[in-house]
Amino acid sequence: MAADKTSTPAPATTTAAATAPAPTPAPTPVPVQNATHQAGGGVSGETRKVKTLSPVLLSYLQKIYKSHAARDKTWHPDETAAFIKLVQGEDADAHAHAGEKWDFDAFLHYMTSSTTNITAPPQSQDLSYPLSSYFISSSHNTYLTGNQLSSAASTDAYKNVLLRGCRCIEIDVWDGDDSDSEADSDTSVSSSDEEEAAGGTARSSKRKSTVGMVKDKIPSSIIDRLEKTSLGKKLDKYVADKEKPETTTAGAATAATPATGTAAIPTANNLTNERGGDSASIISSTSLRKQSSAKEPRVLHGYTLTKEVSFRDVCVAIRDNGFVASDLPLIVSLEVHCGPEQQEAMVNIMDQVWEGLLLKEPSGDPEALPTPGALKNKILVKVKYVAPDQLQGPPTPPDQLDGAVVGAGDPNNSSISAATAAADAKKAKKPSKVIQALSKLGVYTRAVSFKSLEQPEASMPSHIFSLSENGVIEVHEKSRRELFDHNKKFLMRAYPSGLRIRSSNLDPAVFWRKGIQIVALNWQNWDEGMMLNEGMFAGTGGYVLKPAGYRYEITKTQTPLSAAPTTSPTPTPATSAHPPPSQSSPSPPPPQATAVHHYTMDLTLEILAAQSLPLPPGDTNPNSFHPYLKVEVHVEEPGERHGTDPVPAGGKEKSGEYKARTKSHKGCDPDFKRQELKLKGIPGVVPELSFVRFMVKDDQTLGKDELVAWACVRVDKFREGYRIVHLLDARDGMETEAVLLVRVGRKLVG
């Protein structure tokens, strides 16, 4: 691997951090212009250098240089080559200065350059596989700047995630009039079609449980505001109205078809309007509203206290920022809650604003998915698929959108039961709620409501299923092989549960291991999920090629995949993407256990020192700061891999089995005294899907230890030898000058 190719190595500046840095104020939204230095989408894979050295780090580097020097206390070409090859594990022949004599200044230049970053430098990716063969960096409810209930929608949220490398964003679009901001008092509340058939007692229990779980997660200040709105009253009525039969349901918002220039009042699926979340739906008994033609569609989280933003402004933000950080294709996932007239407005706005970027309708149905390389600088619209012969109906309720079955996998619901499948079959011929002109924009990302992995659309190359995190877990437990095989050839999206009011995140690695390409996360929150997303996509442009066993391999007899579509008939009901196995055949091992090679890993980390660590919020005295380093390895649990254990609730794997920590020290430039952390015999390691997290915490005498800085590295990019770990701020994910000096020993067996 090549080092920085400068003709004359320049010495690094050596300055002591004699005084503590100024305290950082309370967290505030990161300015858009700084988003390129914010983590989440892979900033840690970029070139970073150490600008200054504290006395502690400098002294360790002096000792390292002396320990490998010749008798004359310098490095001749032999010493230099031996250090690079034997200690650092690099190819000495490919190193720019391996055959040179190094004095201490030259060694300092090497150690402070990007060459010694613990994360391997970005490599050019093979972009010749179909889209289904890549993990894609993705955002959930992108428009929100905070929690799912009361935060604002903003174009800056789109600018932020796009400049950080996100390649799949979400837009919830509503009618542009003001009539549905506070529904009339004559509105009624109903549950989903499936719940209506379940009976009053069970429905009442589900309703109370759902509303109770949601309210438990909402701050009391917001509850007080909520109770004064019509939504709060509807929730109370939703629980109390348990036996009254409803004439209007989420599956049929109104019996009347909207007249020209009018639209049905959109519904909302529980407080957070999550597709496939808990089954509360709020529907107006006044089925039609006059739309103002002067109003354009708006973006917001429906029936919550979130603030709105113009759909046109969002499209402009996407146009201006969508291909700054990456030229790889951008997927725009549309949640359509508006009527036909405003859907036409959506199409016109996208055609105008995204001219030259928007992927147009092909001449025929795609026969296969194209490659990312063939779609550079293109916007792919993900929108509900409407067959050409399907009629148009009223707007789609939220619980029917985004390819989710009502209550898919969420508590107290069964998304793939026989009753649900039968109900869906009866509704198959009902009019579409999305107009043809909008649906046609979904070329290679046609959203299809999930019923089963054997439904006819499951063999349509351009379909994409969307499931909540609990929906994925339910399908995995019942059809793990079929799920894994489906995701080799076709696209799937997973998104957080509707109960994550505070915008917390699922564990994305659990869903990547199911082969799911698009795992949507709340980018405005800093937690384990976003750290793993940073580790996965570091230096990649937002697309990561799956391990070989996770992707669909093209044989010589198959037609190469390209962006040019060819005509292919829509699958008939007799077509099955995954025929059921023979009843007499033995059950094969789970695909996660056999698709790729699993290793056993021994990891040894020698922690030398750190410098320029940020102080905890509100702390101005370095002497009261007692940092320690915690290291945690994220790998697949044996029970999940072999199918003996269910995936834990929430998709989060067991914590703490493979972790270690240092002793606590004092100040922003701590000397960890070469403390050794050993993690031996870690099983089930797939390097491309396993991660090492570094977390610097403040050792608190009372209360929870506070995270101040972190880094996350994918195991296949984790480099041996003396390495610099560049740390990110725990409050906002921004790059810092904080670094760790460590020595890494790693062994993979198997």
Q: What is the pLDDT of residue 196?
A: 35
Contact 45, 119 (CB under 8 A): yes
The answer, yes or no, to whether residue 130 has pLDDT greater than 90, is yes
Q: What is the DSSP string of 603-661?
A: EEEEEEEEESPPPPTT---GGG--EEEEEEEE---HHHHHTSSPPPGGGPPP-SSSEEE
Contact 511, 494 (CB under 8 A): yes
Between 269 and 721, where is the model more confident?
721
Average pLDDT over residues 563-568: 37
Average predicted confidence (pLDDT) for the chain: 77
Name the pLDDT band for 525 (thresholds 50, 70, 90).
Answer: confident
pLDDT digits (tens, 9 = 90+) for 28-43: 455 566 888 888 888 8
Name the pLDDT band for 654 (thresholds 50, 70, 90).
Answer: low
Name the pLDDT band for 235 (thresholds 50, 70, 90).
Answer: low
Name the pLDDT band for 517 (thresholds 50, 70, 90).
Answer: very high
Name the pLDDT band for 208 (thresholds 50, 70, 90).
Answer: low
Q: By mean pLDDT, which of 82-86, 416-420, 519-523, 708-712 is the weakest?
A: 416-420
The answer, yes or no, to whether residue 437 has pLDDT greater than 80, is yes
Residue 238 identity (one-letter amino acid): Y
Q: What is the pLDDT of residue 310?
A: 94
SS3 assignment for 47-102:
CCCCCEECHHHHHHHHHHHHHCCCCCCCECHHHHHHHHHHHCCCCHHHCCCCCCCE
DSSP state of 38: B
Beta strand segments in 108-235, E: 134-139, 168-174, 188-191
The answer, yes or no, to whether residue 326 has pLDDT greater than 50, is yes
The answer, yes or no, to whether residue 229 has pLDDT greater than 90, is no
In the three-class reduction of DSSP (H, G, I as helix; E, B as strand; rest coil), residue 266 is classed as coil
pLDDT digits (tens, 9 = 90+) for 180-203: 433 333 322 222 333 333 344 544
**CA nearest 605: which of 626, 634, 629?**
629
Q: By mean pLDDT, which of 249-253, 397-401, 601-605, 667-671 is the weakest?
A: 249-253
- Which residue pairs, CB below 8 angstroms and at least 24 apart, start in 182-186? 182/229, 182/230, 183/230, 183/234, 183/265, 183/282, 183/284, 184/230, 184/284, 184/286, 185/230, 185/233, 186/284, 186/285, 186/286
Average pLDDT over residues 478-490: 94
Average pLDDT over residues 352-369: 90
Average pLDDT over residues 252-257: 35
Between 496 and 285, where is the model more confident?
496
- The Cα-based distances of 712 to 43, 505, 600 in angstroms read 11, 16, 20
Average pLDDT over residues 538-551: 94
Name the pLDDT band for 247 (thresholds 50, 70, 90).
Answer: very low
Q: Where are the alpha helices (DSSP H) in 281-435?
A: 311-321, 340-353, 418-427
Q: By mean pLDDT, which of 40-54, 70-84, 592-606, 710-724 is the weakest?
A: 40-54
Question: 87-109 as b/e, with b when 16 or more CB fall inside 10 Å?
Answer: ebebebeebbbbeeebebebbbb
Q: What is the pLDDT of residue 608?
A: 98
Q: What is the pLDDT of residue 602?
A: 97
The answer, yes or no, to whether residue 544 has pLDDT greater than 90, is yes
Q: What is the pLDDT of residue 286?
A: 32
- The rounded distance, in Å, linking the Cα atoms of 440 and 4 is 49
pTM for this predicted structure: 0.76
Name the pLDDT band for 226 (thresholds 50, 70, 90).
Answer: low
Residue 45 identity (one-letter amino acid): G
How long, in residues, is the chain? 750
- Which residue pairs, CB below 8 angstroms and at least 24 apart, start in 200-203? 200/242, 200/243, 201/242, 203/242
